[in-house]
Amino acid sequence: MNPVVGWSLAAAALFAGWQGYGWQGLVFSATLIVFWLVLHFNRALRVMKNAASAPVGHVQSAVMLHSRLQPRLTLMQVVALTHSLGRKLGAEPETWAWSDAGGATVTLMFTGGKLERWALSRTEPGGAPDRLLESTD
pLDDT tens digit sequence for 104-121: 999 999 998 899 999 999
28 and 77 together in one domain: no
Cβ contacts of 20 within 8 Å, gap of 6 or more: none
Question: What is residue 122's predicted lDDT score, i.e. its pLDDT?
Answer: 87
Cβ proximity of 33 and 10 under 8 Å:
yes
User: Mean pLDDT, to the nearest integer, of 16-32?
Assistant: 93
84 and 26 together in one domain: no
21 and 70 together in one domain: no
Identify the DSSP state of 85.
P
Residue 60 belongs to a domain with what CATH number?
Answer: 3.30.1450
Spatial distance between the Cα atoms of 82 and 122, rounded to a whole number of angstroms? 18
Q: What percent of the chain has pLDDT over 70?
A: 89
Spatial distance between the Cα atoms of 42 and 53, rounded to a whole number of angstroms? 17
Closest among 60, 81, 63 to 119, alpha carbons compared: 63
Instruction: Provide the residue range defining the domain that includes 94.
Output: 56-136
Spatial distance between the Cα atoms of 26 and 14, rounded to a whole number of angstroms? 6
- Indicate the pTM of the whole model: 0.75
Question: What is residue 41's predicted lDDT score, i.e. its pLDDT?
Answer: 94
